[in-house]
Amino acid sequence: MNFSYEQTTKIVFGRGKIDSIGEIASQYGKNVLLVTESVNSPLAPLYERVKGLLQQAGLTVHHYDGVVPNPTTESVDAGTQMARSEKVDAVIGIGGGSSMDTAKAVAMAAINEGRAWDYLFFKKQPEKTLPCIAVTTTSGTGSQVTQVAVMTETATQTKSAVFNNLIYPRVAIVDPDLMVTVPRHTTASTGFDAFCHCFESYINVNGSAYTDIIALEGIRMVAKYLRRVVKDGQDLEAREGMAWADTCGGLAIANAGVTLPHGVGMTISGHCPQIMHGESLALTYPSFMRLTYPAAVEKFATVGRILNPELSGLSDEEAAKRCCEEVDQLLKDIGMWLNFESFSVDEATIRRIADRSHDLPDYKANPVIADIDEIYRELMEALARS
């Protein structure tokens, strides 16, 4: 057995933990930038509450509220400019993956030359970063514990990422109380993303015995709680379980990585920003599962039996096949059985998405390496899925 595992983020997990943000942030300076979506969003009361907690701790707070879903280079650049002009000591991101990714990118770019986009994983690497604190309000992206910041260059419809161990948040605050007002569809979309993080790290060719343990724990949480929390967003036990699933997913992908669906999903969002990240995964998963399971029968069987314990008496081969059906059913149960037509995406756009689907290296970590034409065929199955 050989593996290495790195995780530098301190995780502060539990109900009411947001109340400690002033004490936590004061360890990193006195002048901070709060990074969020618009002050007109439903989370505005939380933003004001956090500002108050920070100010009570003696901190000066500047608020950048220009985060957009599927962060763009323009929105990240604007946040970077504010961080530089105010000479902040630390950056605090509050929200879902878009806010936390923007915060990480801003914290990095603020004290390096150029723009965050200049530091994509295949370009030059940053030398330093400001401390970043990530406060998640959803249960799916895992961004609070990863070294990744995703953004889109709108001019070229290119979605890519900064990937560097320097940008792990110093602290992640995971407070399930902050998640009870998340809308049903967002709960479903981010919850399915959490499942995908765990599943893809588990089948990933770069996975390890250590990441497998974390990933399987996350999958168990999803199997137990995702349907429950979609049905009743006020179910705090289910919110807590999904917050843990989300964190497990982030911890797993930070070291094992993701596979084909995430690379394709990033390309989908780059071309079709109206499609949420979790929705892009829901579009790809039914075909991806059937493409991949013959090359990872034992692991698919293990996941199938977690999703449906009644599969325990079946052979690995049969349980692996049934795993595909179990994921289909999960998507249907949480309202995520989707097709491209519902997003006004046509065949020509799907062709362009497929042609760019190897831009990111995630497909190489899949147990089955699909070529571009195969990916096109798989995506076409989702065009008018019913």
Paired tokens of 139? 């249960």
Paired tokens of 3? 């593996």
Cα 246 from Cα 227, distance rounded (Å): 15
DSSP letters spanning 128-190: ----EEEEE-SSS--GGG-SEEEEEETTTTEEEEEE-GGGS-SEEEE-GGGGTTS-HHHHHHH
Contact 91, 106 (CB under 8 A): yes
Cα 251 from Cα 214, distance rounded (Å): 7
Cα 271 from Cα 140, distance rounded (Å): 22
| Closest CA relative to residue 294, chosen from 314, 315, 320 | 320
- The amino acid sitting at 195 is F
Pairing of strands 31-35, 90-95: parallel
Q: Report in angstroms the alpha-carbon separations of 39 from 66, 70, 291.
A: 9, 18, 43
Domain boundaries, given as residue ranges, for the chain: 10-179, 184-380
- The amino acid sitting at 174 is V
Question: What per-residue confidence (pLDDT) applies to 1?
Answer: 84
Pairing of strands 148-153, 158-163: antiparallel
**Which residues of the chain carry a pLDDT beneath 50?**
none
Reported as a single tens digit per residue, the pLDDT across 61-116 is: 999 999 999 999 999 999 999 999 999 999 999 999 999 999 999 999 999 999 99
Cα 148 from Cα 120, distance rounded (Å): 10
CATH classification for the domain delimited by 184-380, as one of 2.40.50.140, 1.20.1330.10, 1.10.645.10, 1.20.1090.10: 1.20.1090.10
Rounded to two decimals, the pTM is 0.96
Question: What per-residue confidence (pLDDT) applies to 73?
Answer: 97
- CATH code of the domain occupying 10-179: 3.40.50.1970
With a CB cutoff of 8 Å and minimum separation 6, the contacts of 130 are: 83, 88, 89, 90, 91, 107, 108, 110, 111
Other C-beta atoms lying within 10 Å of the C-beta of residue 147? 22
How is residue 9 annotated by DSSP? P
3-state secondary structure of 302: helix
Contact 137, 246 (CB under 8 A): no
| Region of residue 69 (phi > 0: left; psi between -120 and 50: alpha; otherwise: beta) | beta
3-state secondary structure of 92: strand
Question: What per-residue confidence (pLDDT) applies to 122?
Answer: 87
Question: What per-residue confidence (pLDDT) applies to 156?
Answer: 92
Paired tokens of 151? 């953004």
Contact 117, 131 (CB under 8 A): no
